[in-house]
Amino acid sequence: MLRGLINAYWPVKAVPDLSFTRGIFICSIGNPEPEYKDTRHNVGHKVMDQLIHMYWKEHLYKQENYYYSRKYPNLVLFKSDSTLMNLQGKIVWKHFQQFRKQSNLIVLHDDLERNLGKFQVRKPGTSSRGHNGLKSIDEVYKNKYEKIAIGIGRPSSKSVTNYVLSKFDAKEQEILDFEVIPKVVKELECKIEADLRRLRSSKGKEAPLPVGIKKV
């Protein structure tokens, strides 16, 4: 009875159940926001924002620094926007390492080598292509992660530094919003669902939802 009274006034916080393997940790990298919001270098954050606030809004919930899903119990999302791009390695590692034994890391990032309107899924071990954020992660995680490279194109005249720190114009935003991001979302959903089927098959049962979360 006493416990019931205590819980009524101080409800137990729902804690994600990490006893079941969480299969996919998706992280976006970029520069701190809002200062660098909507710049080309932060296109990974743009994709993450749309995952959180539009595409997966109905089944995501936030606890501390992470977003979890009622629909995909094998999913963790993290937006790494507290430090500069070239210092991402230690921050990403700090947050990923608690899930590392249970999860595969997927990093969302900008890519100069692909034209705007294109994206590429890149396997572990593939080159950083000179990307300072990826090189920073490689220093601590040895390139053992997947990448979703979102094309921003290479500038024809201005310096690369000025280019990646410039903002997309209205036409470019439209290409991202209607041509690129929907395809990235579909690719991620296919990966998550395939991983979830694998986990459920290996466990011989459905992955449990976090405490206090009802099945939808």
- Using CB atoms within 10 Å of the CB of residue 89, give its burial: 0 to 12 exposed, 13 to 18 middle, 19+ buried: buried
Q: How many CB atoms lie within 10 A of CB 88?
A: 28
Angle at alpha carbon of residue 133, lines to 41 and 185, rounded to 5°: 60
Helix (H) or strand (E) holding 110: strand 104-111
- Catalytic (active site) residue 41: yes
pLDDT of residue 102: 75
* 78 neighbors 27 (Cβ within 8 angstroms): yes
Residue type, 207: A
* 93 neighbors 27 (Cβ within 8 angstroms): no
Q: Which residue among 41, 45, 95, 131 is the active-site one?
A: 41
pLDDT of residue 39: 97
Closest CA to 75 of 212, 185, 195, 181: 195
Residue tagged 């939802």 (tokens): 209
Distance CA 107, CA 79 (A): 10
pLDDT of residue 81: 95
Distance CA 194, CA 196 (A): 5
Angle at alpha carbon of residue 56, lines to 95 and 192, rounded to 5°: 65
Terminal Cα distance for the chain, rounded: 31
| Annotated domain spans of the chain | 23-199
User: What are 38-47's pLDDT values in tens digits?
Assistant: 999 999 999 9
User: What are 174-192's pLDDT values in tens digits?
Assistant: 999 999 999 999 999 999 9
Topology, domain 23-199? Rossmann fold (3.40.50)
Task: Supply φ then ψ for residue 135, to 5 degrees.
Answer: -60, -35
pLDDT of residue 100: 80
User: What are 100-116's pLDDT values in tens digits?
Assistant: 877 899 999 999 999 99
Task: Name residues of the chain where pLDDT drops below 50.
Answer: 1-15, 17-20, 206-207, 209-216
pTM: 0.85
- Using CB atoms within 10 Å of the CB of residue 111, give its burial: 0 to 12 exposed, 13 to 18 middle, 19+ buried: buried
